[in-house]
Structures are given as C-alpha cells and as structure tokens.
C-alpha cells in the first residue's frame, strides 16, 4: 500500500510539471520518489538518487538517468531507485504509517528486515523506540528493537530485544566493536554481547552505520540467571548508574550504598507484582556485605562474596579501554541464585580509548579505571588480586593482542562501507559533545581516526602488560623457566608448597 501511495504521488508530481511547465525556471527539483528525486535541468528530466540509494531506470524503460522532458512517455515516467547496499548486512525498518521515533518511553509499531546476515529476518513485526542517555542528544539516534516473537538475527541465539548503537560520538565507529570482540578472549566474563556492523534504513531513509548488539538483560542467550520472585535469593542484575536517582523510585528501582552511590536493579522486573521490598533489601544487603569485605583487608572475606576471576577479566578490559564513565555509570554486575557477585556484562565504550574526557581517561600511561571505580580501587589494594591480573595477562596477553590485530584488519577491510556513514553525518573534525577529547575531535578524516585509535590501543596494551608482568606469581615464573628448558619434570603446587614430580610417575 505504501508503494502504491508513493507511485500515485509521483505521477501527480509529473502531471504538475506538465500543467505548470511554462512557469518553471530552467532548473527545478521535485521530490516524492522513494530513494531519490527529479531535477529539471535545461529541458531534461534528471533522476538523482538520495544518499544510500542508486538509480536503476525509469518506469517507462529508459535506462539513462537524464531523459528529454517531452520525449515519448517521459512526462508520465517515474524514476526507480533501490538501496545501494554495501558489504555490510542491512537493516530496513518501516514504522506504522511512517510515524517518527521520538522518545525512549513509548514504542512505535514497525516491521524489520535484516538482509545479508547469516540469520536474518524479513518483514518481522516489532516495535521501536529511542534508547540511551547522552547519545539521545545527538542527531544520529540510537534505537531499541523489541520483536513480537524471539528472533535469531545472526545465528547466535534467539531473543526479542536488540539494540542499534549509533556510535555518533565515536568517530571511528569501532570502539564498541573492538571491546566486545576482545572480551570474547576473556572467558571469565560469562556473557558479552555479540556485535555486528550494519547499515540502517529507517522509513526509506539511509541513516548510516550502526552496531547491532544484544540488549543487556537476563534470560537464555543473555545473562542466564533465574528471576524467580517466589524467593529473595534469586538472580539479580544491577548497574552502577548515577542517573538512576532521576529515572526510578528509591528502594524499588534502585538503592544506594558506598556513601550514596546508586545502583539500578535491571532484573528482576521491579514492576512485577511479585517484586517486593524484601528483594531490594536482599540484594542491597548482599552488596553492602561485599563492600565491607572489600575494605576489611581480609582476602578470605573478599572471596566469600565476589567471583574474583570475573573482576580480574573485567578490570583488564576496562583498564585497557578506559571508558570515561566507568566510575559512575554502565558498570554492570550480577549475582546468580546462591552465587557470588560477578562483574559483567561489559557495556558502553563509545567514549573510551582516547575519545573522552576527563584527560586522565585518555592517558595511556595512567591507570584511570583503577583510580575512579570503587570496586577495582579496593580490589587492587590486595596483592592477591594484582597477582591474578598478572597471571591472567601472562596467559592471554598474546590472545588479546592477536584479537586486536584481527579486529583492525576487519575494520580496514570494510573501511569504505564505514566511511559512507560520514557522508550522511558530516561530523569528522567537529565536537559532537563536551565529553569528546580534543585530540580525537581534531582529526577530520576517517583514516586518521583509525590510526589514532590503533596507536592508542597499542600504547594502552603495552602499559598494562608492563605494569602487571611483574605481578606474575613465583609458581608461574618457575613453570615458565622449566618449560623453556623442557626438563623431565612438571611443577605441582598443592596447598602453597612447591614440589617437583617426575613426569614418568604420572
């Protein structure tokens, strides 16, 4: 029906040209054609494609984009355009009645197609709304999609809710992609979203390159913890979030510990009728006890409340990328029923890795995350935690470096696809908001942005490895030495004692 309406509208425009042609100037422009427009230029009809589209011919059969105004059927001819797809998967979203998407409170009905992906959907019923906080103020909007039924977009598991991250404040478009890809190496982070670059068309308009990610939520193929409200010791997903105080009700949607630091409850659903103040008290009390254990100076108490391995991996990724808001927002933790507090999922890194304020977050030689995040700051006072970081980097440092290299290779291979975003949004060399760093904003070309990011990541990785390589445990060093000499022994360390066992005995 939508295409029929546009066709009728286009014909009306052509008839208008016929009736009023004596009064037209030599140059005139008329819209009303999906994907393009007609320009009258010196007695000729010229079809001009919009950004993200290409001209494919006239409905009358003419193939040249420029035809004589009074030749044959040209007066009644309608130009035809189609999306000019790149090598990226493409998301087409059409809202009901082409209604605009203007708030993050109210959904708009829509249909969604994902073309060019391993999974993909076609004309799937869904709803769409805005998402985010500071990103909402930008011209290029981020979106949340909620399908009527669970869908598997990239053969990575079904779910109803997905996010389209605009990355408008990240001039490389790549920081979230890098973080979530590298985090796959850090398998003590039990859940990290998948991430895919996509082109997005909303109501026929090309809106640029987005990253399509999973919504941070609980459930199968997400943070897989229960939400059984018949008991208080159920699964909980919380976010350190300074904005929680203005977006919800205290001691229902959020609570505070750490001298007023607010934590938003993301799961269970605080609006569920079975959710009570007892659930809030349970998770608030548990996190308070965890914080008390952290400041006690007793490592054994820390181990009672925290899944320390997840915080080790979390710290490595957070210190490597240094997101500017790691001390007050987008810092997620979860607790399984009967389990310990875990770090994750990691989220929101567009303002990171040299692209943010304050200046300390851009300094690759500084340890910004260690300074501003209260959980990491206390953990790093323990030699045991620092040793665990050193040991972990010794184990997977090469894998992190290799993953960064492979990610940049992928980014450079699709560079022309990503660059088209900046034809739609001409922001290179400008400030999009006050949180961007002056160094990143000063670079007015995409190659320069990628070089800046790659050099920054190289320096940050080197700093992290240099700082914590000396924290590797004695046992690991001895094992490394022995392996290098290939002796007929292996190292075993039961209960803190070093023993040599002949390999022939095992």
Each residue's pLDDT tens digit, 311-370: 999 999 999 999 999 999 999 999 999 999 999 999 999 999 999 988 899 999 999 999
Cα-Cα-Cα-Cα dihedral sign, residues 296, 302, 306, 309 = positive
Q: Are residues 77 and 156 in the same domain?
A: no
Q: Are residues 344 and 292 in the same domain?
A: yes
Q: Are residues 43 and 129 in the same domain?
A: no
Q: Please answer whether residues 387 and 472 qualify as being in contact, where contact means their C-beta atoms are separated by less than 8 angstroms.
A: yes
Q: Other CB atoms closer than 10 Å to residue 110's CB: what's the count?
A: 25
pLDDT class for 475, splitting at 50, 70, 90?
low
Q: Are residues 26 and 74 in the same domain?
A: yes
Q: Are residues 490 and 469 in the same domain?
A: no
Whether residue 409 lies inside any domain: the answer is: yes
How many structural domains comprise the chain? 4
Q: Are residues 281 and 392 in the same domain?
A: yes
Stated as kind and residue range, the H or E segment containing 115 is: strand 108-115
- For 220-351, where are the alpha helices, taking DSSP H only? 244-247, 277-294, 299-305, 308-321
The mean pLDDT value of the chain amounts to: 88
pLDDT in tens, 204-251: 999 999 999 999 999 888 999 999 999 999 999 999 999 999 989 999
Q: Are residues 98 and 246 in the same domain?
A: no
Q: Are residues 59 and 98 in the same domain?
A: no
Q: Are residues 189 and 279 in the same domain?
A: no
Q: Are residues 184 and 243 in the same domain?
A: no
Tokens of 481: 């030495």
Whether residue 227 lies inside any domain: the answer is: no
Whether residue 225 lies inside any domain: the answer is: no
Question: Whole domain around residue 16: which residue ranges?
Answer: 2-83
Helix (H, G, I), strand (E, B) or coil at 504: helix
Dist CA 111 CA 120 (whole Å): 13
Q: Other CB atoms closer than 10 Å to residue 169's CB: what's the count?
A: 23
pLDDT in tens, 34-52: 899 989 888 888 999 999 9
Q: What is the mean pLDDT of residues 160-170?
A: 96
Whether residue 229 lies inside any domain: the answer is: no
Distance of CA 339 to the CA centre of its chain: 28
In which residue are the tokens 């492979």 written?
406
1, with CB counted inside 10 A (0-12, 13-18, 19+), is exposed
What number of residues does the chain have? 506
Q: Are residues 438 and 290 in the same domain?
A: yes
pLDDT at residue 71, rounded to an integer: 62
Dist CA 124 CA 386 (whole Å): 49
The secondary structure of residue 326, as a DSSP letter, is T
Q: What is the largest CA-CA distance in the chain?
A: 102
Provide the phi-psi class of 389: left if phi over 0, else alpha when psi is between -120 and 50, else beta: alpha
pLDDT class for 136, splitting at 50, 70, 90?
confident
Q: Are residues 165 and 256 in the same domain?
A: no
């Amino acid at each position: 029906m939508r295409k029929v309406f546009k066709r009728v509208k286009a014909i009306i425009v052509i008839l208008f040209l016929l009736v009023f042609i004596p009064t037209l100037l030599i140059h005139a422009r008329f819209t009303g054609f999906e994907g393009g427009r007609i320009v009258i230029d010196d007695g000729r009809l010229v079809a001009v494609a919009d950004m993200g589209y290409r001209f494919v011919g006239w409905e009358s059969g003419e193939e040249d984009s420029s035809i004589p105004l009074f030749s044959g059927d040209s007066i009644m001819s309608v130009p035809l355009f189609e999306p000019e797809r790149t090598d990226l998967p493409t998301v087409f979203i059409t809202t009901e009645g082409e209604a605009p998407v203007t708030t993050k409170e109210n959904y708009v009905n829509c249909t969604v197609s994902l073309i060019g992906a391993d999974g993909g959907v076609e004309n799937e019923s869904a709803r769409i709304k805005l998402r985010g906080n500071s990103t909402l103020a930008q011209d290029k909007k981020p979106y949340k999609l909620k399908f009527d039924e669970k869908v598997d977009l990239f053969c990575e598991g079904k779910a109803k809710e997905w996010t389209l991250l605009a990355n408008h404040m990240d001039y490389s478009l790549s920081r979230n992609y890098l973080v979530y890809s590298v985090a796959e190496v850090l398998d003590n982070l039990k859940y990290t979203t998948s991430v895919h670059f996509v082109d997005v068309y909303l109501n026929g308009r090309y809106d640029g390159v987005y990253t399509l990610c999973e919504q941070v939520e609980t459930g199968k193929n997400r943070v897989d913890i229960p939400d059984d409200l018949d008991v208080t010791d159920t699964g909980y997903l919380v976010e350190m979030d300074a904005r929680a105080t203005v977006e919800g009700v205290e001691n229902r949607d959020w609570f505070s510990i750490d001298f007023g630091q607010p934590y938003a409850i993301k799961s269970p659903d605080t609006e569920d009728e079975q959710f009570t103040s007892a659930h809030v008290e349970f998770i608030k009390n548990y996190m308070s006890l965890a914080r008390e254990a952290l400041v006690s100076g007793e490592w054994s108490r820390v181990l009672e409340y925290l899944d320390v391995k997840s915080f080790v991996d979390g710290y490595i990724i957070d210190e490597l990328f240094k997101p500017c808001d790691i001390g007050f927002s987008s810092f997620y933790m979860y607790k399984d029923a009967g389990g310990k507090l875990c770090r994750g999922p990691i989220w929101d890194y567009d303002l990171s890795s040299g692209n943010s304020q304050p200046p300390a977050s851009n300094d690759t030689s500084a340890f910004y995350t260690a300074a501003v995040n209260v959980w990491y700051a206390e953990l790093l006072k323990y030699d045991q935690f620092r040793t665990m970081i050193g040991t972990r980097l010794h184990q997977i440092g090469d894998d992190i470096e290799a993953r960064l290299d492979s990610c940049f290779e992928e980014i450079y291979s699709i560079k022309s696809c990503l660059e088209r975003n900046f034809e739609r949004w001409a922001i290179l060399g400008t400030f999009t908001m006050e949180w961007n760093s002056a160094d990143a904003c000063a670079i007015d070309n995409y190659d320069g942005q990628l070089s800046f990011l790659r050099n920054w990541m190289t320096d940050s990785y080197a700093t992290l490895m240099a700082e914590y390589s000396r924290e590797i445990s004695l046992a690991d060093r001895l094992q490394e030495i022995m392996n290098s000499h290939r002796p007929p022994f292996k190292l075993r360390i039961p209960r803190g004692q070093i023993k040599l066992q002949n390999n022939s005995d095992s």
